[in-house]
Structure 1
């Protein structure tokens, strides 16, 4: 599949403009993990991000999130619950990480 398969997916810099190339996420126990921002894009007025910790990098995997942006507030990351939405976002991220010629 090529990047043209998702012409509505537009690259954005929401998290990178605030945090640079890395973002620190905290789990339920308050433990922090540094994640590299692999890609960010907007699709149908929703921003998404693919993040990768060192452990995920070793497994060649990424974590996918919705990025909720409210004016005057820091963006919030949300898990993608809908299977079809997750699949679409996953395909876009794959296209961006591994473009076909």
Structure 2
């Protein structure tokens, strides 16, 4: 998977998930990997970018709000959310934003 998501020309949507983890893994890494694979199979999924240090930030990209709502309601994703609330996160915040514009430098241009 490339480091930067290959998103289409805007508009599209971004789900920004910021989190602070609890101590220990408790199955987190395996579930996180599983959720990326599952999300990529969802209608409307465009890509994902993630970084984890003291603060973890994962941004997933979607075609529309309906696709985001369907992902949030996915049975396996709901199970992961419950584990996140009870075991993996001491704090988290989810933000949904419409991407109106994007720009940057492609690695091939370097």
**By the TM > 0.5 criterion, same fold?**
no
Which has the larger helix fraction? 2
RCO comparison, higher one (Cα < 8 Å, 6+): 2
TM-score by length of 2: 0.28
TM-score normalized by the length of structure 1: 0.30
Which of these two proteins has the greater Rg computed from alpha carbons? 2
